[in-house]
Amino acid sequence: MHLNKVLMNLRSLSAQGAWLLLSGLWAPAGAQEMVLQVDPGHIRSEVQPTMFGIFFEDINFAADGGLYAELVKNRSFEFTLPKTGWLEPHSNPYGFNRESGSSSVLKYGAEDGNQTYLRVQVQKPEGYELINEGFRGMGIRAGADYRLSLRAARGDGAVRAIVVNLVDSTGTSLGGSRIALDTQGWKDYQATFSASRTEPRAQLRITFEGTGSVDLDMVSLFPADTWKGRPNGLRKDLVQLLYDLKPGFLRFPGGCIVEGRTLARRYQWKKTVGPVADRTALINRWNTEFAHRPAPDYFQSFGLGFFEYFQLAEDLGAAPLPILGCGMACQFNTAELVPLDQLDPYIQDALDLIEFANGSTATPWGRVRAEMGHPEPFHMKYLGIGNEQWGPEYAERLALFTRALRQAHPEIELVGSSGPFAAGDFFEYGWEKMKELGVDLVDEHYYMSAEWFRKNAGRYDSYDRKGPKVFAGEYAAQSVRTASPENKNNWECALAEAAFITGLERNADLVTMTSYAPLMAHAEGWQWTPDLIWFNNLESYGTANYYVQKLFANNSGTHLLEIGSEGKPLSGQQGLYASAELDRKAGQLIVKLVNTEPRARDLKLEVTGGKLGRKAQLSILRGEAPDALNSFEAPTAVSPVEETMNLGRSEIRLSLSPGSLTVLRADLR
């Protein structure tokens, strides 16, 4: 049979079969055993607890419509088209119906904060209805409680009550409540009710008793069961997935979202703290970024704002790593610049952020934090200035930030950027400038092919050790090409990342922070793929890439060891990769082994300079084929299998499965 035909047939085989058949084809019988040496007594450096972290950006409906559990889209009528998300089924296309009622959006007159509200004119009792469509619907669970809150002001006429109901696509109620309007002016009302049925695409219907006018604002609906039970909090299943990663840091709020397509639409942290109703909504930069994935209804409510990010980092046991704009709009878009002599307000934002996070409650921004319920400092240690910036325009702006920040806050570690490219002139120039400016960490980004990841596991072996540390801040193997909508979170990419990560770990003296990106995507609302976690309105799952991250992060040691074959690191020879660490607290040797070849490999690990204990735990992660995926239907198709093995005194024999990541934790005496 021709090789082409064999390869075609492989596609139709079960994935497991594919690796095995390839193994039979390609593996010479009795392939030589690979011999590796590791010495747990020979420490190269400490491994930082920040080694494996998470990168959060509000892309793919990751915040509004995702992590932030609000179910109502455009709750305060602030979107550019202020009735976005709100349907008036009985109205004509112009939004009114003389017989039943109508609505219009009015302005309070404020420049900032909450600017608009909705005025409803009810002509016919119970004839007018207003429906919020949620974020591709609302995920509702049978028996769960939902908390509705809204602001209302009764106007002319006699509207006695507002009736809220969750409804399915036929308009059948799944639960609701009646809110009696007991006063004329603005008042906050609340109601809790439970859902009778599970429904992935429910909507919220609002009707009225009586006729007349009524004003509405901040119409909000949350599940009662949020992460840590916090009212108006975060979606529990999604935070749990993050928590399970045991991340060493949380980078927020992005990504390009930091910069904005224009300066006016940049992320401004001060507008994301304080009472949620006062946070000014802003169009999400991913709303219009990709013509092939338009999301005209994608805005940022900032209900998940900087306070909530710091709180999330604390909940996760992760160091907070905020990234702030540096006076440059996204260079892929408008590349607008703030003149150097007008940069002070931007620098002040950075100084004030440190006060907000760490300052005493006697300081103005420390007081804001305390008023929000967190008098204790957030112990922020890292701050990034600029996301994916490049060129002299960045260097000269960053210079002004570093000067001011070093002077006022020498305790804060500053993160600069080497730009969006993994190599090339901009990258080289960026690094040179970062060294000159003396930043503590340089944020590198690479969205490259699986092959690139396999070939670049040695990327950091020869990096300069005297300059800044490396923050591998955004990376992900792309199965097609960067930002292609066809990219998949397949096993080939996840395995290539695992191979690459052994290279990050082998260089843990230099690379002290790493994070996959992007983190999350709504299955019906995404703009960018691949992503670490996928979710819909009710469910979520970690991808194959997620389990790679989890295995590395959950098995990160305290000290870096050398591991290699004949004195050389194992970094792609015969498709094999390895890294090793000591976990001093647990008294264990940790070895990660990646076999990217489609055949099993026998391996002998000689442990010198220390004695092995009696047992080792193995976690083995493998997909059944390079194109294996996790999905809503099979969320753990690619997930680790745990085994225990007995140990000899000084050597361990393993057979690495075809296309696999193996994590070994061996007890030491």
- Active-site positions read 388
Q: Does 322 bind ligand AHR (CB under 6 A)?
A: no
| CA–CA distances in Å: residue 202 to residues 133, 171, 190, 523 | 8, 9, 20, 17
CA–CA distance, 254 with 236 (Å, rounded to integer):
21
Cβ atoms 95, 564 nearer than 8 A: no
Closest by alpha carbon to 663, among 599, 605, 585? Answer: 605
Using the rule CB under 6 A, give the single segment among 131-139, 221-229, 241-249, 250-258 that binds ligand AHR: 250-258
Give the residue, chosen from 78, 355, 388, 497, that forms a contact with ligand AHR under the rule CB under 6 A: 388
Q: Count the site residues for ligand AHR by CB under 6 A.
A: 13
Is position 583 an interface residue for ligand AHR (rule: CB under 6 A)?
no
Query: In terms of Cα–Cα distance, which of 254, 281, 278, 258 is closest to 268?
Result: 258
The one-character DSSP state at 424 is S
Question: Should residue 255 be labelled a site residue for ligand AHR when binding is judged by CB under 6 A?
Answer: yes
Q: Which stretch binds ligand AHR (CB under 6 A): 20-28, 195-203, 253-261, 584-592?
A: 253-261
Q: Which stretch binds ligand AHR (CB under 6 A): 249-257, 295-303, 372-380, 427-435?
A: 249-257
Q: Which residue is nearest to ligand AHR (CB)?
A: 255
Q: Give which of 73, 65, 56, 144 is closest to 523, Cα–Cα.
A: 65
- Residue placing its CB nearer to ligand AHR in the complex, 139 or 420: 420
Residues in 468-487 that interact with ligand AHR by CB under 6 A: 474
Position 531 contacts ligand AHR (CB under 6 A): no
Contact call for residue 58 and ligand AHR (CB under 6 A):
no
**Residue from the set 19, 57, 386, 665 that interacts with ligand AHR by CB under 6 A:** 57
Q: Taking the complex as a whole, how short is the minimal distance between the CB of residue 297 and ligand AHR, in angstroms?
A: 20
For residues 219 and 520, which CB has a smaller minimum distance to ligand AHR in the complex?
520
The CA-based dihedral angle spanning residues 285, 287, 291, 296, taken in that order and rounded to the nearest 10 degrees: -150
Q: Least distance from C-beta 311 to ligand AHR, angstroms?
A: 23
Q: Compute the radius of gyration of the chain from its Cα atoms.
A: 27
Q: What is the dihedral of CA 310, 395, 268, 363, to 10 degrees?
A: 60
Strand 319-324 relative to strand 173-180: parallel, antiparallel, unpaired? unpaired
Contact 310, 380 (CB under 8 A): yes
Residue with tokens 């290539």: 496
Our finding on whether 450 is near ligand AHR (CB under 6 A) is no
Smallest separation (angstroms) from ligand AHR to the CB of 593? 29
Q: Which is nearer to ligand AHR, 474 or 581 (CB)?
A: 474
Please report how close the Cβ of residue 476 comes to ligand AHR at its closest, in angstroms: 8
Among 207, 220, 387, 662, contact with ligand AHR (rule: CB under 6 A): 387
Residues 509-528, one symbol each (x = binds ligand AHR by CB under 6 A, - = not), give: --------xx---------x
Go through 398-426 and write b for each residue having 16 or more CB atoms within 10 A of its CB, e for each that does not. Answer: bebbbebbeeebeebbbbbbbbbbbeeeb
Q: Cis omega before residue 518 (within 30°)?
A: yes
Question: What burial class does residue 41 get, using C-beta atoms within 10 Å of its C-beta: 0-12 exposed, 13-18 middle, 19+ buried?
Answer: exposed
**Contacts to ligand AHR by CB under 6 A:** 57, 59, 254-256, 387-388, 420, 445, 474, 517-518, 528
